Amino acid sequence: MHFKRKLLAKACILLTLTLMLALPATAAEKVLMMATTTSTDNTGLLDYLKPHFEKATGIELKWTAVGTGKALALGKNCDVDVLLVHAPAAEKKYVEEGFGVDRREIMYNDFVIIGPESDPAGIKGKNVVDALDAIRAKGAVFASRGDNSGTHKKELALWKSAGGVVPEKESWYVQTGQGMLATINIAAERNGYTMTDRGTYIKYADTLKGNPPLKVLVEGDAILLNQYSVIAVNPKRCPEAKYDLATTFSNWMAGAEGQKLIADFKLLGKPLFTANAK
Amino acid sequence: MRSPIYQIDHLVHRYHGQPVLDIDQLLIQPATIMGLAGPNGSGKSTLLKLMAFIMRPDEGQIYFDGVPALPFGSVVRFQVTLLTQEPYLMKRSVFNNIAYGLRVRGQGEDTAGRIHEALEMVGLDPERFSGRQWSELSGGEAQRVALAARLVLKPRVLLLDEPTASVDAVSSELIRTASLRARQEWGTTLVIASHDREWLYDVCDEVIQLFKGRMTGTGRTNMIFGPWQEGGDGGFHKRLGDGRRLIVPAPPHAEAIAFIDPAAFRILDSPADPVAEHEACIDGTITRLSLERHSGRLYADVRAGSMTLVVCVEAAHVAAMTLHRGWPVRLAYRPERVQWH
Amino acid sequence: MDFILAGFFEAIRLLLGGDAQTWSAVAATLKASTGSMAVSLVLGIPLGFVLGYVDFPGRRQTRLLVDTALALPTVFIGLVVYAFISNRGPLGGLGLLFTLRGIVVGQTILALPVVIALSAAAVENMDRHLRTLLITLGASRRQLLFSSLWEVRFGLLAAGLAAYGRVMTEVGISMMVGGNIKWHTRTITTAIALETGKGMFATGIALGLVLIAIAFMVNVSLSFLRKR
């Protein structure tokens, strides 16, 4: 028994040592930590850009995909170096408060309102305000992200422009508290409507072999524009943040190579984003 | 005279505030066999645990080889070992159970040979048993393995707490024989607690009576529990069945326990003989005659109704009386020789 | 329903086809859970022994505290650990955020109460004769501790398995502290959450089956230990 126990102890020590070796020390030198929204990650855009960026700059890009609210909080706590988000009003406030610097518009996609082909509320082809009024009047199921994300904030703004009140307590208004694709799936299950960014919708349609149960019913309204920006974490507040790497990333994204790659990123033959850096 | 291996001074131990053991002084000589007799709860197990240095006494001191000793002390750790009543083994094979004590002593050489020898001492075939798991043994076998685990250590002191109380007759006999061999072969000091008085008086150099945590004597005695009944004439007695009565003086309280010295009884030459004045008598049957080894005294067990009394027979009377088992006898005694506790 | 069957075939394809992302998540899961289990066993078993064996003042209250900690929600642990290891937090300088080591810290907090409570229970149920037996055979205090633990090894094994189950399957800590970073801190469970969020239900099911397969392997190897 004693020798068995010794063996066990040795095995434990060995295991711990292996583990320490296996877990790399803090990081290699040039690593850029980014907080971004689920939409950029879910569409596969970042997976597509990452190798190009690393090849061009030698910087390893790491990201955590969370809601816009959490992404901004991570920046406030100096836990990331750079943000890629899409909630212009919140972003501007964020920069004004001194949490971020060098906000730079990179690209946009647009939001669309999708719903079942049968279109119970009859919103097809209407503008956003009329469409939402029709949904409210009909009491048709509408799935909302309900997670304080950029998309959610956009949706709330739309409701306010259509009648001024967010139908939060209505039984047909479903707050999922989940990501965009999960919310689309819930809307599909309930035979209801939802608002989504076009990129996520194309990705969704692609996974369903181009024949999804929910179709684009409202699009093209100017109010539906979805602007993405890069913001560096303020180096004065966060001395440990890698401001130089963040600047390199921002320049690359807004530069010729980044902009061309974004414009070329297609799914089902359709571009997901429109590059619009100035 | 050699110096005692145990010297116990003013020992007091309590459970939940209640004193369970209170021994003023006790000496035990090396290589002797000492018996502890007494009813359940009299403090035998507590005394043995203290003597085994498993726990620390609340008051008092135990000297081992003249040195004050405590649990885990280097003086006693490898010298004293205790065998408890319930057969209990570690969840390991028989071999590893016996080897444990050798391993903690760092005695690695010839482990197999010594375990073989120890198993043979307790009458277990080493080939068949050493590979078995703890769960594959009967109660008696487990207790014998437990004894082997002590014997393999060749201890200076072996404490036995009712070692045969929960085992079958064959195991019981083997355990007794093996324990005695320890003294013969290595001069081990034995302290045995047992309900089996005959065994104790047969093998022990000295037997101590324990009652309610105190030593009440060092020889044989009759301990008689109530209930005590008041007779019509103001006297007291205990009903023994078959219409027999044991006459006693007035007890100090209802739960008092009577102690009667075996020498207080006199066996009448013939049941028809008259008894003397102030003497009470009781009729019974001799069930056993035994010789106490160290004193040379002869004792007779006399069954009277539901209880058995121990009676001392003077050597000179033995031949004249021609006592035999199964013979009816009449015992005479003076009730004032009853002592109350 | 059809995505469950699809998930089953997908699981086989991911494992046998050597899908790099899947294996990266498997490795991250194994590294993090092995690390947190090693720490919580080394700390938890002695603490559990003390809690189950030694009658110290405040023992009942400590027991209550540990039992309550069994119900700690993983997201809550994740949030608290994040608060400490965030760069603005008191332990920000250690660089634990978005690393497997950070996940190990959180999972250790998750597993430790399980190990302590269950090993204390195992030690409490230990036969009272064992102590007498070990001392009388000459065990020192240290040998008493180790031999007692060896006697309750099956109870400790159960404690370890229960803790391992919690650690392997938690999402909240890995997501909050690890950040679900691809190739780095994406574990199987955060990958499942991601795939589900993307609507890739079959891939989610497949990854779940991969997790179950790992748990099965761990249990099989431990059951061999148990037989001896």
CATH number at residue C126: 1.10.3720.10
Distance CA B248, CA B264 (A): 13
**Which chain C residues touch B54 with a CB distance below 8 Å?**
131-132, 135-136
- Which of C31, C98, C198 is opposite residue A23, by nearest beta carbon? C31
Distance CA A131, CA B245 (A): 111
Q: Give the model's pLDDT for residue A8.
A: 54
> Angle at the Cα of C71 (from C67 to C72), degrees rounded to 5?
115
Q: Give the model's pLDDT for residue C192.
A: 92
Rounded to a whole number of angstroms, the distance between the first and last alpha carbons of chain B is: 34
- Which residue ranges make up each domain of chain B? 6-217, 222-340
pLDDT tens per residue, chain C (228 residues)? 677 888 888 888 887 887 888 889 999 999 999 999 999 999 999 999 999 988 899 999 999 999 999 999 999 999 999 999 988 888 888 889 999 999 999 999 999 999 999 999 999 888 888 999 999 999 998 999 889 989 998 889 989 999 999 999 999 999 999 989 888 999 999 999 888 777 677 888 889 998 999 889 888 888 877 665
Distance CA A227, CA A246 (A): 19
Half-sphere exposure of A176 (CA within 13 A, CB side): 26
Half-sphere exposure of B43 (CA within 13 A, CB side): 24
Distance CA B281, CA B268 (A): 9
Min Cα–Cα distance to chain B from C98, Å:
45
Average pLDDT, chain A: 86
- β-bridge mates for residue A161, sequence order: none
Q: Does some domain include residue C224?
A: no
**Which chain B residues touch C130 with a CB distance below 8 Å?**
88, 90
Min Cα–Cα distance to chain C from B233, Å:
53
- Domain B6-217 sits in CATH at 3.40.50.300
Average pLDDT, chain C: 89
Contact by Cβ (8 Å): A112, A63: no
> Checking DSSP bridges between strand B214-217 and strand B206-211, what pairing results, if any?
antiparallel
For the record, the structure tokens of B95 come out as 């071999």
- Which of C35, C87, C184 is opposite residue A238, by nearest beta carbon? C87
**Which chain C residues touch A240 with a CB distance below 8 Å?**
87, 92
Distance CA A72, CA A78 (A): 10
**Which chain A residues touch B96 with a CB distance below 8 Å?**
1
Backbone angles phi, psi at A114, to 5 degrees: -115, 160
The CATH H-level (homologous superfamily) assignment of domain A110-224 is: Periplasmic binding protein-like II (3.40.190.10)
Alpha helices in chain B (DSSP H): 44-51, 94-104, 111-121, 126-129, 139-151, 169-186, 197-203, 315-321
Distance CA C100, CA C12 (A): 27
Return the CATH class of domain A31-109+227-275. alpha beta
CB contact under 8 Å between C138 and B101, yes or no, is yes
Q: Give the model's pLDDT for residue B316.
A: 63
**Which chain A residues touch B103 with a CB distance below 8 Å?**
2
> Taking CA atoms, what residue in A is nearest to B93?
A1
Q: Does some domain include residue C89?
A: yes
- pLDDT of B275 higher than 90: no
Closest CA to A11 of B17, C41, C175: C41
For the record, the structure tokens of B68 come out as 């004050």
Distance CA B214, CA B22 (A): 5
pLDDT digits (tens, 9 = 90+) for B241-265: 777 888 888 888 888 888 888 888 8
Q: Give the model's pLDDT for residue A13.
A: 55
Q: Which chain C residues in 9-38 lie under 8 Å from chain A, judged by CB atoms?
A: 31, 34-35, 38
- The overall longest dimension of chain C from CA atoms, in Å, is 65
CB contact under 8 Å between B90 and C130, yes or no, is yes
Strands (DSSP E) contained in A52-206 are 60-66, 82-85, 100-116, 142-144, 173-175, 193-197
Contact by Cβ (8 Å): A148, A121: no
Closest CA to A126 of A23, A12, A218, A4: A218
Is C87's Cβ below 8 Å from some Cβ in A? yes
SS3 assignment, position B252:
coil
Is B52's Cβ below 8 Å from some Cβ in C? yes
Q: Give the model's pLDDT for residue A12.
A: 53
Backbone angles phi, psi at C126, to 5 degrees: -60, 140
SS3 assignment, position B321:
helix
- Which CATH topology does B222-340 take? OB fold (Dihydrolipoamide Acetyltransferase, E2P) (2.40.50)
Q: How many domains does chain C have?
A: 1
pLDDT digits (tens, 9 = 90+) for C142-185: 999 889 989 998 889 989 999 999 999 999 999 999 989 888 99
Helices B139-151 & B169-186 angle (0-180, nearest 10): 10
Split at pLDDT 50, 70, 90, the class of A202 is confident
SS3 assignment, position C162:
helix
> Taking CA atoms, what residue in B is nearest to A1?
B96
* CATH 3.40.190.10 segments of chain A: 31-109+227-275, 110-224
Residues in chain A: 278
Kindly report the three-state secondary structure assignment for every residue of A115-152: EECCCCCCCCCCCHHHHHHHHHHHCCCEEECCCCCHHH
Q: Give the model's pLDDT for residue C88.
A: 83
Is B81's Cβ below 8 Å from some Cβ in C? yes
Q: Give the model's pLDDT for residue C82.
A: 93
Q: Which chains touch B (3 or more CB pairs under 8 A)?
A: A, C
Distance CA C102, CA C95 (A): 8
pLDDT digits (tens, 9 = 90+) for B118-151: 999 999 999 999 999 988 999 999 999 999 999 9
CB contact under 8 Å between A238 and C35, yes or no, is no
For the record, the structure tokens of A165 come out as 């009140």
Min Cα–Cα distance to chain C from A164, Å:
30
CB contact under 8 Å between C38 and A63, yes or no, is no
CB contact under 8 Å between A2 and B92, yes or no, is no
Residue that wins the pLDDT comparison between B238 and B46: B46
Q: Give the model's pLDDT for residue A27.
A: 44
> Taking CA atoms, what residue in B is nearest to C150?
B91
CB contact under 8 Å between B92 and A1, yes or no, is yes
Over residues B275-282, the mean pLDDT reads 82
Split at pLDDT 50, 70, 90, the class of A11 is low
Distance CA A33, CA A78 (A): 10
SS3 assignment, position A96:
helix
Rounded to a whole number of angstroms, the distance between the first and last alpha carbons of chain A is: 74
CB contact under 8 Å between C198 and A203, yes or no, is yes
Q: Give the model's pLDDT for residue A1.
A: 43
Closest CA to A194 of A171, A168, A218: A218
- pLDDT of A3 higher than 70: no
Residues in chain C: 228
Residue that wins the pLDDT comparison between A164 and A135: A135
Site from C3, C79, C98, C149 to mutate, A interface, most A CB atoms within 10 angstroms: C98
For the record, the structure tokens of C50 come out as 């003390």
Distance CA A250, CA A83 (A): 10
CB contact under 8 Å between A2 and B103, yes or no, is yes
Matching residue, tokens 């121990």: B310
Sheet with B236-241, edge to edge strand ranges:
B229-230, B236-241, B244-248
- pLDDT of A86 higher than 70: yes
Q: Give the model's pLDDT for residue C200.
A: 76
Matching residue, tokens 């009658």: C55
- β-bridge mates for residue B238, sequence order: B246
CB contact under 8 Å between A16 and C150, yes or no, is no
Q: Give the model's pLDDT for residue B319.
A: 61
Which positions in chain B have a beta carbon within 8 angstroms of at least one beta carbon in chain A? 92, 96, 103
> Checking DSSP bridges between strand B18-28 and strand B59-64, what pairing results, if any?
unpaired
- β-bridge mates for residue B179, sequence order: none
**Which chain C residues touch B104 with a CB distance below 8 Å?**
137-140, 143
Split at pLDDT 50, 70, 90, the class of A16 is low
Distance CA B152, CA A96 (A): 84
- pLDDT of A4 higher than 70: no
- Which of C136, C139, C151 is opposite residue B52, by nearest beta carbon? C136
- β-bridge mates for residue C126, sequence order: none
For the record, the structure tokens of B20 come out as 């369970």
Q: Which chains touch C (3 or more CB pairs under 8 A)?
A: A, B
**Which chain A residues touch B92 with a CB distance below 8 Å?**
1
